[in-house]
Structure 1
């Protein structure tokens, strides 16, 4: 039985992760961490998440519960995630990371942690999104350079990074299939007299509004037709279920850096 720790347990995503852990087979909630300043410290994590008493009290740090979990699920912030990954590597704990907005240096730190422990890092834990990534790669390979590629994404008003990590990953997958470097061909938004579109650019458009959980649409367009590959999430539970699935999958894996394509055997 894999014992899962959830950090940010009192937040919206944390509560979904606790519920997904309770609902899943082969795993159990071992620990739940909140901010050191939280008024909920000491409360039962299950009661806070609305799933009933679990006998797991909210604590303020990983050090407070290091003996109580095998794998940490982290959907926090880039700097905190990097620190948590280093802690897990030092204490032989696996980690599943759904945090977005990490820069290249922070991603490199995750690679370093993965030399000592099992790490799943993916910008989107949804099974549907990861199937979509596979479809995007196939579409790009077949359609080639004759089709213009545009990525449109929408999220709730509170999301702090833009474009979303999922949108960027979609762009990376398409660029890789087309033999391009996304850093060189990406165009983020358009305004003013910018001239006609270049053939090999990949465009990104971002919408932030209301309570949109997450919507992504990738256009492949040419003269006479347009193909759209779309994924819409209506609940954070889809991300939570995927993260818990990844945590359970890590039980039999060696140290290394994995993503959801590995978890779902899509590679």
Structure 2
């Protein structure tokens, strides 16, 4: 696979590069604050940068006419709308978390909410000190699954890749559903799975939850 990364020198960009290199894939394009490095047109473009680079991302997607995998957090509603417009002609995979474990957590949270009555629900999330957005995109995903107003508590500490916990409590017991990322490699593995999917996918707007469910059916 020939791929490109926007945000190559960031934490996730490095993790993606290391894993993709191990698997024999070729980085043929990169763009960062240091500038552009172009060798060939990529078959798939990966973006883990910042919302401020979004216009540049769109510019490259339209130039290369290739699928986009975007894990940048803190995107605005207008930016998501633009991605959906692009997805009419190209595969676009957008998600705030590319962990397989988080997909399982989302299913468990949805099931617990369905089975439990008269419970208080709280979400907590912890990430490294450099993370810009608060609460995390993953915490927002969990809240969307619950489809109700739920408080989210956010911590920014050290170099934590990502911890998320959902609490269900009544007067007699508390149930917790948690996920802890031990390294960013788990997210890079999800990006690789998404890239392999994107190369064969028809145009459309996908999330990593869609990838998880569709590949499970194969």
TM-score (norm 2): 0.91
The answer to whether structure 1 residue 204 and structure 2 residue 152 are counterparts is yes
CA–CA distance in structure 2, aligned partners of residues 20 and 147 of structure 1: 42
Whether the 8 Å contact between 1:30 and 1:68 is mirrored in structure 2 is no
Which consecutive unaligned segments of at least 5 residues does structure 1 have? 39-58, 186-201
Count of aligned residue pairs for this structure pair: 215
Whether the 8 Å contact between 1:86 and 1:113 is mirrored in structure 2 is no
CA–CA distance in structure 2, aligned partners of residues 123 and 97 of structure 1: 8
CA–CA distance in structure 2, aligned partners of residues 82 and 172 of structure 1: 27
User: Match for residue 36 of structure 2?
Assistant: 60
Cα distance, 1:142 vs. partner?
1.7
CA–CA distance in structure 1, aligned partners of residues 86 and 52 of structure 2: 14
- Structure index of larger Rg: 1
Cα distance, 1:14 vs. partner?
1.2
User: Match for residue 194 of structure 2?
Assistant: 246
User: Match for residue 30 of structure 2?
Assistant: 33
Whether the 8 Å contact between 1:89 and 1:117 is mirrored in structure 2 is no
What CA deviation, in whole Å up to 9, does each residue of 1:150-206 have, x standing for no partner?
A: 00000111111000001111111111xxxx4xxxx2xxxxxxxxxxxxxxxx11101
What CA deviation, in whole Å up to 9, does each residue of 1:214-233 have, x standing for no partner?
A: 10000111110111110001
TM-score (norm 1): 0.75
CA–CA distance in structure 1, aligned partners of residues 31 and 64 of structure 2: 20
Q: 2:127 aligns with which of 128, 137, 155?
A: 155
1:101-250 mapped onto 2 (5 Å cutoff): 101-144=74-117, 146-175=118-147, 180=148, 185=149, 202-250=150-198
CA–CA distance in structure 1, aligned partners of residues 146 and 188 of structure 2: 26
CA–CA distance in structure 1, aligned partners of residues 202 and 71 of structure 2: 20
CA–CA distance in structure 1, aligned partners of residues 85 and 36 of structure 2: 25
Cα distance, 1:256 vs. partner?
0.5
Whether the 8 Å contact between 2:42 and 2:64 is mirrored in structure 1 is no
Alignment root-mean-square deviation, CA: 1.9
User: Match for residue 4 of structure 2?
Assistant: 5
1:29-108 mapped onto 2 (5 Å cutoff): 29-35=26-32, 38=34, 60=36, 64-65=38-39, 67-108=40-81
Q: 1:140 to 1:82 in 2, by over 3 A?
A: farther
User: Match for residue 21 of structure 2?
Assistant: 22
